[in-house]
């Protein structure tokens, strides 16, 4: 009986150690977030140039700018998920598995919303519905950062999440004007690309 109790205690201690190690594992989403922030910030700036008639393109071509951006990023994210994530140090930790699942779900949700907005725009023959999409996108990022902050216990990530929610509201106010485009680009750079770069710096040195 004493031996059984001791064995149970050792098992619990081992499981507790695994849980602690999982919380300490560095987040491995930095590279993908850096690329996403840069790609979509550039898309927003191109849309700004079109809306301000700095580029000689029809206004409806803004939608295709986002389609191209998604078409560039999704294959990259899929390639990294299939080729690298499973072999990186810390990839199997509970923290990384949970956070990556949340970000993956966010990506699917944004794609579904983009398709839904497209359908509404076609049916109503108005692209005004896309005015709210940047705010929705940034708010979704805030939700994902909230989970990442809770799982990783990194306080600065919580501040990034709060920044996303604030930016979503600010971009909503700016939506009727051309300022929404540079505001969205700035939010993506500061709240997605920059945090992604900071997370990359904390990754194990043997991650290529």
pLDDT of the residue at 88: 58
pLDDT of the residue at 74: 83
pLDDT of the residue at 168: 96
Distance separating alpha carbons of residues 60 and 194, to the nearest angstrom = 30
pTM: 0.80
SS3 for 153-202, per residue?
CCHHHHHHHHHHHHHHHHHHHHCCCCCHHHHHHHHHHHHHHHHHHHHHHC
Instruction: Provide the CA 154 distance to its chain's centre, in angstroms.
Output: 17
* Cα-Cα-Cα-Cα dihedral sign, residues 86, 92, 93, 99: positive
Q: Tell me the pLDDT of the chain (208 aa) as tens digits.
A: 555 555 555 444 444 444 444 455 678 888 889 999 999 999 999 999 999 999 889 888 888 898 899 889 888 877 776 655 455 555 667 787 888 888 888 888 988 998 898 899 888 888 788 889 899 999 999 999 999 998 888 899 999 999 999 999 999 999 888 999 999 999 999 999 999 999 988 776 554 3
53: left (phi over 0), alpha (psi -120 to 50) or beta: left
pLDDT of the residue at 104: 87
Using CB atoms within 10 A of its CB, is residue 80 exposed (0-12), middle (13-18) or buried (19+)?
A: middle
pLDDT of the residue at 164: 97
């Amino acid at each position: 009986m004493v031996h059984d109790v001791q064995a149970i205690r050792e098992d619990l201690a081992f499981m507790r150690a695994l849980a602690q190690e999982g919380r300490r594992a560095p987040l491995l989403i930095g590279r993908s977030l850096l690329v996403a922030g840069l790609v979509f910030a550039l898309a927003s700036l191109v849309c700004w140039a079109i809306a301000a008639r700095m580029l000689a393109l029809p206004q409806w071509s803004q939608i295709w700018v986002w389609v191209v951006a998604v078409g560039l990023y999704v294959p990259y994210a899929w390639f990294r998920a299939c080729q690298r994530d499973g072999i990186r140090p810390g990839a199997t930790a509970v923290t990384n598995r949970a956070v990556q699942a949340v970000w993956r779900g966010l990506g699917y949700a944004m794609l579904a919303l983009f398709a839904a907005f497209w359908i509404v725009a076609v049916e109503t023959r108005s692209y005004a519905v896309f005015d709210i999409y940047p705010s929705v996108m940034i708010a979704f990022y805030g939700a994902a950062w909230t989970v990442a902050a809770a799982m990783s216990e990194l306080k600065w990530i919580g501040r990034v999440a709060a920044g996303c929610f604030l930016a979503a509201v600010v971009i909503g106010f700016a939506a009727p004007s051309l300022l929404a485009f540079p505001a969205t680009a700035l939010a993506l750079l500061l709240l997605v690309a920059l945090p992604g770069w900071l997370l990359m710096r904390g990754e194990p040195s043997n991650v290529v």
